[in-house]
Amino acid sequence: MVSEVKVRLSRKNTLYIPKAMALAVGIREGSFVKLRVEGLRIVIEPILDPFDLALKGSKFAKTTFEEFEKESEEMQDELFK
């Protein structure tokens, strides 16, 4: 993948991100990105969708259904006393 390309701004300062770059960072039509200015640079960062992270992201904790159910019941007991 190319890590740097030259693009032209179109009307209303619209910027088109090349497909290969968008795919490389996991964004697609409808994705949200964060823009920030660093000196004379504009930095574009993807805002990761929590649902995509939950489904596709790496898992760092393991629990059984029984453990989950027990915790859920305890929290409900505390909330609805």
Stretch 8-27: mean pLDDT, rounded? 91
Q: Is residue 4 part of a domain?
A: no
Q: Which residue has the tokens 């409900």?
A: 76
Q: Is residue 39 part of a domain?
A: yes
CA 18 to mean position of chain CA atoms: 18
pLDDT at 19: 93
Given a cut of 90, is residue 49 above it in pLDDT? no
Q: Which two three-digit tokens encode residue 32?
A: 């949200």
Q: Is residue 22 part of a domain?
A: yes
Residue 51 or residue 76, greater confidence: 76
How many domains does one find in the chain? 1
pLDDT at 39: 97
Name the residue among 23, 32, 27, 30 with its Cα closest to residue 2.
Answer: 23
Q: Is residue 57 part of a domain?
A: yes
Stretch 49-59: mean pLDDT, rounded? 74
CATH number, domain with residue 55: 2.10.260
Q: Is residue 52 part of a domain?
A: yes
Q: Is residue 2 part of a domain?
A: no
Q: Which domain holds residue 72?
A: 11-79
